[in-house]
Amino acid sequence: MIHKRFEEIERADIEALLENETRESRTLEYKEKLPSRSRDDRKEFLADVSAFANAAGGDLLYGVREQRDAKGNATGIPAEIPGIETDNIDAELLRLTNMLRDNIEPRLYPLQIRAVDGFPKGPVILIRVGQSWNGPHMVTLNYRIYSRRGTQTYPLDVSELRSAFLLSERLSERLRRFRDERLARIIADETPVQLEPEARLVVHMVPVKAMQPDNDTDVYTLLNDHQARQLLRPMYLEGGWNPRYNFDGFVTYRESYPVSYLQLFSSGAMEWVADCGDIVRKGEEIIPYLPAELTAKELLGCLRTGKEVFSYLEIQPPYFLSVGLIGVRGYRLAMSGSSWLIRQYTVDRDTLVFPDIRIDDRDFEPTVVMRPILDTLWRAVGYSHCGYYDDDGTWIGPRLI
């Protein structure tokens, strides 16, 4: 794989493969020509791409001619980069994209494809396939599942298929265990910052990669970049915040009320926790409530921050979003501009754990992703849906910065 952000790869990066005689590997493969429309060519193309997804991911480069040995066999070392000769590169990119979309199940993600110009006969087509966490992926033209061993694409046998499906199930279990363990620690006050004994908002964004035993995410590249480190702001930030390394990775925190922190785990997982409740007095009665507008803004802020951090660290989807509220029995939800509260119903339990949201697109829109959680929160206090969306699901709530 070319060790550079996909959108930043230039002609010089591809030419460096030729200059350095970079061999094909488990994550890199060269092809001289695009697949034709024949069934055999299409099967080979689909097998190559899905094999990368079912293994460790990788880059396929079309328009690279390999060196040959004395017997005429390809050596895996680039000999020349003529590019792809075509009259309509956009049509070819669309053809390849449609072929992958229509003939691999479940659909591949992440998958990126583009043309890099500047070669003698035409552009080089680069396909980057991310390691998939939604597999294994099957080629529906022949109902086979492929992976990579060294530089070779091969079909999985029965025992390998069983292992692949079990791995997918184990990842889901690890995600649930991580969330449940973290909630238990927060409830038990085992947190990096001492919180108040009141309502707490908890948000987790966990890339599936963080649950892999061989996860190689290096979060410290972000921490060593002073400007990028500013992304790690805790919730309810008004004024300054403090950063420090800790056993789990790195934490930023605010110690004045409302107390909050953001924990970046060394695995790449992120955890936001904050005191989130308030009270109002009506005569002798003390009524606890959650400020609706501020709660929605902070939840969306967490999503935006997670999106930027994962982009910086080049952590591909899927990501899992988990939201919980702790210590909220008897709380109401206060909407700015209302006479007092959105209905006089109260939350009927101490802990609310919202359904997990799976995010498959690295360019996701936070207001779209968060809608099911906000709708559920509104229902917890007797409302039919979150009032910050119109009937079409468009955000009409408070202005977001």
Cβ proximity of 51 and 146 under 8 Å: yes
Threshold 0.75, pTM exceeds: no
Chain segment 180-215, per-residue pLDDT in tens: 999 999 999 999 999 888 899 999 999 988 887 667
Rg (CA), the chain: 25
28/150 Cα distance (integer angstroms): 10
pLDDT at site 173: 79
Task: Examine residue 258 and say whether the peptide bond preceding it is cis (omega within 30 degrees of 0).
Answer: yes
Residue the block writes with tokens 């238990």: 184
Residue among 182, 335, 386, 210 at smallest CA distance from 273: 182
The angle formed by the CA atoms of residues 65, 70 and 73, to the nearest 5 degrees, is 45
Query: How does residue 237 score in pLDDT terms, banded at 50, 70 and 90?
Result: confident
pLDDT at site 216: 73
Which span out of 24-38, 164-178, 333-347 was modeled with the highest average pLDDT?
24-38
Q: Which CATH superfamily is domain 6-156 in?
A: Schlafen, AAA domain (3.30.950.30)
Percent of the chain with pLDDT over 90: 59
Residue among 179, 106, 135, 131 at smallest CA distance from 27: 131
Chain segment 134-170, per-residue pLDDT in tens: 778 999 999 999 999 888 999 988 787 777 776 666 7
- Of 102-116, 165-179, 317-331, which range is least confident? 165-179
Q: What residue spans define the domains of the chain?
A: 6-156, 167-380
Percent of the chain with pLDDT over 70: 95
- The amino acid occupying position 359 is I
Q: How far is Cα of residue 227 from the mean position of the Cα atoms in its chain? A: 22
Q: Both ends of the chain: CA-CA distance in Å? A: 37
